[in-house]
Amino acid sequence: MLRLARWGWLTLALLAAWPAAAGPLAERLRERWQIGQAEARAAGLPDGVRMLSALRYGDDPAETLDAYLPAQPQHAPLVLMVHGGAWRLGDKGAPAVFVNKVQRWAPQGVIVLSVNYPLLPHATRIGMLSDDVTEPQWRVSSTAAARLGLTLVTERLGKPPFALDSAFARLAAARCELLMPLSSGLLAARRKEIVALAQRHRLPTLCSNVVWVEVGALMSYGPNFSASYRRAADISARLLGGAKAADTPIEQPQVLELVINLAAAKTFGINVPQALRLRADRLIE
């Protein structure tokens, strides 16, 4: 976000210096400004709001942003809007993404940036590792995969000891592009071996527990178990202090974290977008 803010201020400084600027850079900025003005009027933006469209903030072609500037942008605060879409869809220019934010904040003197970022690669065949305790997770995953148009290739490993070598041979033969081990203590106990096999078969590993990323998996998104354990200790102390169990609500995990292993990404030749790095809670070099 700091990089985005600095880049935005550099752009504004160049625009402020137009009378003194010369050459192709000034001309391109002037053209971009004029195009943005027309687009802003077409979108029905508030009076006085100016728009700069498709400004680059990174090396990937998808790393662009639109800037909506109030009448007095110098020293103005900044709001950064990153659209949703589960990393598979969405666009900074969709009216539902930016119009109401600009209408609210720009008249108050706030700069609004609407950001695009690289979406997920078009991987459609997901290898999944399941054991006897993860069947409910598999059913939910299967439903979600069908909705997203993904193909799950599931290796049901049953009870330990798991036949991992043959399972990975079948996943490779099925031309899987990613690996997702479901959340199981039995699978996690062999995570080093599983991640090593995944790397050997060129399968980036996505999971829900950071302990996998710490041994070489690409990425995890899920509950912070340390925070959950601390919360469990708080609830236990309350019960030991006399609170009734019937009066203690069941709680969902309160802290979710995104962790990315940049070394693993480099191993697979994956360029982790800057926008994704900024959203990560932790980066492992």
In order, the DSSP letters of 42-109 are HTTPPTT-EEEEEEE-SSSTT-EEEEEE-S--TT--EEEEE--STTTS--TT-HHHHHHHHHHHGGGT
Q: According to the model, what pLDDT value does residue 263 have?
A: 95
- pLDDT tens for 60-69 read 788 899 999 9
149 burial level (CB within 10 Å; 0-12, 13-18, 19+): exposed
Q: According to the model, what pLDDT value does residue 32 have?
A: 55
- pLDDT tens for 129-147 read 999 999 999 999 899 888 8
Q: How long is the chain?
A: 285
Spell out the domains of the chain, with CATH numbers in brackets: 2-115 (no CATH), 125-284 (3.40.50.2300)
Mean local confidence (pLDDT), 104-110:
91
What is the average pLDDT value for the chain, to the nearest integer? 82
Does the pLDDT at position 9 exceed 80? no
pTM confidence score = 0.60
